[in-house]
C-alpha cells in the first residue's frame, strides 16, 4: 500500500510534523553524532522536552517544517524545512535531515528536496531557494537537482576539530521551470 501526504515525491511523502512524532526514534536522531555530523546544533544533548518544544513551535511557525515519510510504509525517516521564508522577496532556506541511518544512500534526501522545491515554486510562489552546507552528500544532491553553486563560506564549520568550508547553493524558480521543460 502506498501512503500519501501533503507533498508527494517519487519514494517519499512530506507531511506536517505532529506531536505523535515526538518519539524515542526521533530523539535518537537528535543525539546521534553521525546524524548531527554536518548540522549546527550538536553541542548540547536533546531531551523529550526539547523535541516536544521544537514540534510545538514548528506547528505555529511561519516557516515550513515537515516530516519525511516513506511512501511504501509510512515510516518517518527524517525532516525537511523551508526557513527564513520571506514572502516579500519570495525566498526561503532549505534544510534537511535524514535521521534514520538505515535509509541513508537510497535517494530519499534527493527525492524530498525535489518534492519540496516543486512545492515552493508552484504552490508557495517563491522565486528562490537557497541552502548552505558542509556535507558532501547534501551538496552532491542539490547539484544533481540543478542548484547553482553561489559561493563558499571559508572555514566556517567546525568538523572533527578542524574548520571546513560551507558551500552555498541557490535555485531560481525560472531555472527550475526551464529544467522541467526539457
| Residue 2, domain member (yes or no) | no
Q: What is the domain count for the chain?
A: 1
Is 1 a member of any domain? Answer: no
Q: Is residue 127 part of a domain?
A: yes
Report CA torsion sign: 137, 142, 147, 150. Answer: negative
pLDDT(115) > 80: yes
What pLDDT band is residue 17 in, cutting at 50, 70 and 90? very high
Residue 182: its pLDDT value, please?
Answer: 42
Model confidence pLDDT, tens digit, residues 60-105: 999 999 999 999 999 999 999 999 999 999 999 999 999 999 999 9
Full residue range of the structural domain in which residue 96 is found: 7-181
Is residue 176 assigned to a domain?
yes
Q: Which CATH number is 60's domain given? A: 3.40.630.30
How buried is 41 (Cβ within 10 angstroms: 0-12 exposed, 13-18 middle, 19+ buried)?
exposed
Report whether pLDDT(178) > 90: no
The residues pairing with 130 across neighbouring beta strands, listed in sequence order, are 93, 170
Confidence of residue 42 (pLDDT cuts 50, 70, 90): low
91 within 8 A of 126, measured Cβ to Cβ: yes
Residue 154 dihedral angles phi and psi, to the nearest 5°: -70, 130
In a domain, 98, yes or no: yes
Amino acid at each position: 500500500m502506498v501512503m500519501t501526504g501533503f507533498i508527494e515525491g517519487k519514494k517519499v511523502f512530506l507531511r506536517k510534523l505532529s506531536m505523535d512524532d515526538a518519539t524515542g526514534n526521533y530523539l535518537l536522531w537528535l543525539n546521534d553524532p553521525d546524524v548531527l555530523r554536518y548540522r549546527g546544533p550538536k553541542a548540547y544533548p536533546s531531551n523529550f522536552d526539547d523535541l516536544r518544544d521544537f514540534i510545538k513551535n514548528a506547528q505555529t511557525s511561519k516557516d515550513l517544517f515537515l516530516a519525511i515519510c516513506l511512501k511504501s510504509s509510512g515510516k518517518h525517516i527524517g525532516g525537511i524545512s523551508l526557513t527564513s521564508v520571506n514572502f516579500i522577496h519570495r525566498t526561503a532556506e532549505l534544510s534537511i535531515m535524514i535521521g534514520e541511518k538505515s535509509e541513508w544512500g537510497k535517494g530519499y534526501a534527493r527525492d524530498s528536496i525535489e518534492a519540496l522545491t516543486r512545492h515552493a515554486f508552484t504552490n508557495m510562489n517563491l522565486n528562490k531557494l537557497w541552502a548552505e552546507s558542509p556535507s558532501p552528500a547534501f551538496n552532491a544532491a542539490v547539484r544533481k537537482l540543478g542548484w547553482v553553486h553561489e559561493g563558499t563560506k571559508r572555514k566556517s564549520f567546525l568538523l572533527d576539530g578542524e574548520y571546513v568550508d560551507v558551500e552555498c547553493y541557490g535555485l531560481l524558480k525560472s531555472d527550475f521551470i526551464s529544467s522541467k521543460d526539457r
